[in-house]
Structure formats: structure tokens, C-alpha cells
Chains A and B, each alone.
Chain A
């Protein structure tokens, strides 16, 4: 029984480690050098159209979005700035409302941190609760309960 439980634990650990490794590989793998068009697409997908509601610069055909796309293309063609620097340039003009993906610094970082915090708390609380139920379940037979069962058995005889 104990061996089976240990085996189960190892299986779960292996499963979790495999999932983490595959996720890491998938998100970090190098898909080769990017073209200028790839960079324009990647940048405009994370910038919000300043005059639309919820549309990215990549999707929108509004005049403001077209101007931003042209500016991004111009800066990429210049080759002076990285993708992050171009996004920072646009943000420095339009403010943080132009970012579709919130920053990972300052108050905005709460958006990234809170879900993880809540998940860890939830899993921890559930684990703690399950463990306690198990412990309480095995140790909770009081003397009163024992006497009750014995009396019932005696009456059956």
C-alpha cells in the first residue's frame, strides 16, 4: 500500500516536471531570425489603437493606428531601437493606455502577481484542508463514540 502511494507521488512529480519542461521549451525556443515585417506585427499587436475600444494597432485601420504603425515601421527600418525601446517610445507619447499588455513594474505588476498569489494560496489552503480532514477523520473517534458502538453491538447480540 505504501509502495503504491510512493509510486503515485513520483508519477505526479514526473508529470508536473514534464509539463513545466515542455512549457519552458515551447515558450523559449528560438524560431529563427525575424524579418522586419515580423517585428512590426509583434510590436503593433501589443499596442492599443488610441482611438478605438479594445483594438490593437495591428488590427485597427483608424488613422491614429495607421500613424503608429507607420512610425513603428520607420523606427524598425532605421535599426536604431529594439522592440522594447520602440514600445517605450510610443508609451512615452501616448501614455500607458496605449499598452495592451500591462507592464511588469510598479502597480501594474499586481496584474501578473495577484493571480499567481491567489493560485498558490488556493492550492495551499486546499492542501491544508485535505490534510486536516484526513487527520481529523482518523483521530476523531471519541470515547463516547466507542461506548455507543459497543452498546449497539451488545444490544444486537
Chain B
């Protein structure tokens, strides 16, 4: 009887310690884990060469992203019925005008997400935005950039590397600030 209780006394703290250590390990994993939300602006593509994009514009001109090397490229994934896309549009138009004053202005491209040419043309003729609109047949460009929902804005540097992803609506001045930082960091 005494021997049994002695064994219990010996084994119980070991089991309790193991369980305790496991609990602490789980807690550590939870505390240190990266948040994993759909709106996270992080992407595995950041710092990587941009995916190959070969498509056409709504004006039936060919668009090849690789040919844009030497310029900062901004891709704005857009749908004419998406409310945040409509809401951010004036900011994008204002940004494009400001950017024209820069020494090496960034090129803006709208990537049409799940929308048709006629709706996009109608939207831009009404709301302005004198840049090219690239077709994204079957969402191939969206998938290659990991775009889940619009609007999303991506910045690609003159060497063809993905430098920034802004998930969601652009706020006033956000793109200017981010682009200025990137130009300082990676050269304009």
C-alpha cells in the first residue's frame, strides 16, 4: 500500500509536468502565430518576381508585363459593380494626376476582375481614369497574384519584383506614401 502511494507520488508530477509543458507549448504557438485573415496585406509574392502577365486591353492592344520593366507598375484589380472599387476610384484618378508630375511616373493599369468590357468602358468614361484596362480572362491574372476579392492594388518595381499589396480600398494619400517609401528603398 505504501509502495503504491509512493509510485503515485512519483508518477503524478511527471505526468502533470508533461501535460503542463504541452499546454505551454500550445499557448506559445498561439501567441506567436501570424494572424491569418483574408484581408491580410501580406503575400507570398512580396519580394518575388512578378507573375508573367500576357493579355489584352479593352482597346484590344497587347499587354505584356515583362515589357514594362524600367517603370514602376501599379495593378489595380477592379470590378465596376464593387462598392469599394467605386469609392476608391476618385483617389486613384487623383493619384494618377499627381504621379504625372514625378520624374519617373508609375504606370497604372486596371485589371478587370469578373467584369465585361462594356461595363468597364462605361464606368471609366463616366468617372475618369485615362490608363489602360487589362482583361483578365477566367481570372488567370487574379489567381497568379492571389487576389481573392477586389479591390486590390499591387506595386511592381522597375526590375519586375512585387513590392506591395494593398488589400481593400485605397485611402487618400496611402498609395503616394507607400510608393515614395518604396522608391527611396529600391530606387526610382
A38 to chain B, nearest CB (A): 21
B41 to chain A, nearest CB (A): 12
Q: What's the tally of chain A residues with a CB closer than 8 Å to chain B?
A: 23
For A64, A71, A96, which residue has the most chain B Cβ atoms within 10 angstroms?
Answer: A64
Contact A142 B38 (CB under 8 A): no
Contact A92 B143 (CB under 8 A): no
Within 8 A of A (CB), among B75-118: 113-114
Q: Which of A64, A91, A93, A96 contacts B149 (CB 8 A)?
A: A64
Contact A95 B42 (CB under 8 A): yes
Q: What residues of chain B lie closer than 8 Å to A91, measured between beta carbons?
A: 44
- How many pairs of A and B residues are in contact by the CB < 8 Å rule? 66
Interface string of A20-39 (1 = CB under 8 A from B): 00000000000000000000
Asked if A42 is at the interface (CB within 8 A of a chain B CB), the reply is no
Asked if A74 is at the interface (CB within 8 A of a chain B CB), the reply is yes
Q: What's the tally of chain B residues with a CB closer than 8 Å to chain A?
A: 24
Q: Knowing A51-B149, A66-B139, A71-B139 touch, does A93 contact B144 (C-beta < 8 A)? A: yes
Q: What residues of chain B lie closer than 8 Å to A93, measured between beta carbons?
A: 43-45, 51, 143-146
Asked if B67 is at the interface (CB within 8 A of a chain A CB), the reply is no
* Residues of B that sit less than 8 Å from A by CB: 1, 4, 7, 29, 36, 38, 42-45, 51, 113-114, 138-140, 142-149
